[in-house]
Amino acid sequence: MRVWRARDADYRTQAPVKAAIRARNSSRGTVRAPVAAAWAVAKFEFRGKSALITLIDLPFAVSPVIAGMIFILVFGTHGWFGGSLKAHHIHVVFAIPGIVLATIFVTFPFIARELIPVMQAQGKEDEETALSLGATGWQTFWRVTLPNIRWGLLYGVLLCNARAMGEFGAVSVVSGHIRGLTNTMPLHVEILYNEYNYTAAFAVASLLALLALLTLAGKSFLEWRQPELRRATHLPRDRTRRVNT
């Protein structure tokens, strides 16, 4: 029972919820851009393609703390856009948008890197056929590309979600550690630990670990479904219908 004797009562319920919201928000934002990037890299030839690939990998190479510092530099009170943001009463740093931005940056490569090989393996002929049959770019993407990558995409989102929940460095810099507002679970673990509140720290850490285990279970599930569903033979009909129309 001592586990729940953490400082303020509200926070106990809020921390996991916040983490979940953050994971969801950033996943949503994190899905579109990397899918677009992966599509461009896998299916098209254009100038600056290798530059784009480098850009996708950048978050892997850069320490998340540096990413956080860059966000402070850009959006902070004394940063490049700090003044104009303040004038419009938009809070980025030390608020939820900052956390979401930092998480998007850190998780960006997960989905793109997951999708590029899947898309490359599938080749361009499906898309070319769709275009020759008169489909527009959007129709081609929604009706042909997306259904073919949906399991890979879900897998990427899952990995991205796991990373988002656990992200420490970048978020630590931009969040401001405001309890009940911008604190996240990993940050909270650190605070509790620094306050010598070991029990609570380990409790929250355990909760985080549990979420990780759930993620792993989800990942195993997808890996188990994927090869079967890729063959498309066993695909229940109603499912394909929903995707097509």
Partner 1 sequence: MSIALRGVTKQFGDYAAVEGIDLDVATGALMALLGPSGSGKTTLLRIIGGLETPDAGQVLFDGQDATLWPIGDRKVGFVFQQYALFRHMTVFENVAFGLKVKRRRERPSAKVIRTKVQDLLALVQLEWAHDRYAAQLSGGQRQRVALARAMAVDPQVLLLDEPFGALDSQVRHELRRWLRRLHDELHFTSIIVTHDQQEAIEVADTVVVLNQGKIEQAGIPGEIYDLPKSAFVHRFLGQVNELPVKLRDGRAYIGPIDIAAAADMQTGSTKNIALIRPHEVEIGDVASGWPATVVAVRVIGPIVRLDLCADGQPIHEPLEAEIGRERFEAERFSLGQRVGMRFRRWQVYPAAA
Enumerate binding residues for partner 1 (CB under 8 A).
123, 125-126, 128-136, 139, 143-144, 147-148, 231-233, 235, 237, 240, 243-244
Tell me the three state secondary structure of residue 95.
Answer: coil
Q: Buried b / exposed e across 83-93, counting CB within 10 Å, b at 16+?
A: eebeeeeeebb
Least separation, in Å, of the C-beta of 216 and partner 1? 28
Least separation, in Å, of the C-beta of 122 and partner 1? 9
- Name the packing angle between helices 146-166 and 185-194 (round to 10°): 10
Least separation, in Å, of the C-beta of 125 and partner 1? 4
Tell me the three state secondary structure of residue 25.
Answer: helix
Residue (140 or 175) nearer to partner 1, CB: 140
Least separation, in Å, of the C-beta of 230 and partner 1? 8
Residue (103 or 148) nearer to partner 1, CB: 148
Residue (65 or 243) nearer to partner 1, CB: 243
CA distances from 24 to 12, 103, 139, 195 (A): 19, 11, 26, 30
Residue (44 or 60) nearer to partner 1, CB: 44
Residue 116 Rama label (left phi>0; alpha psi -120 to 50; beta): alpha
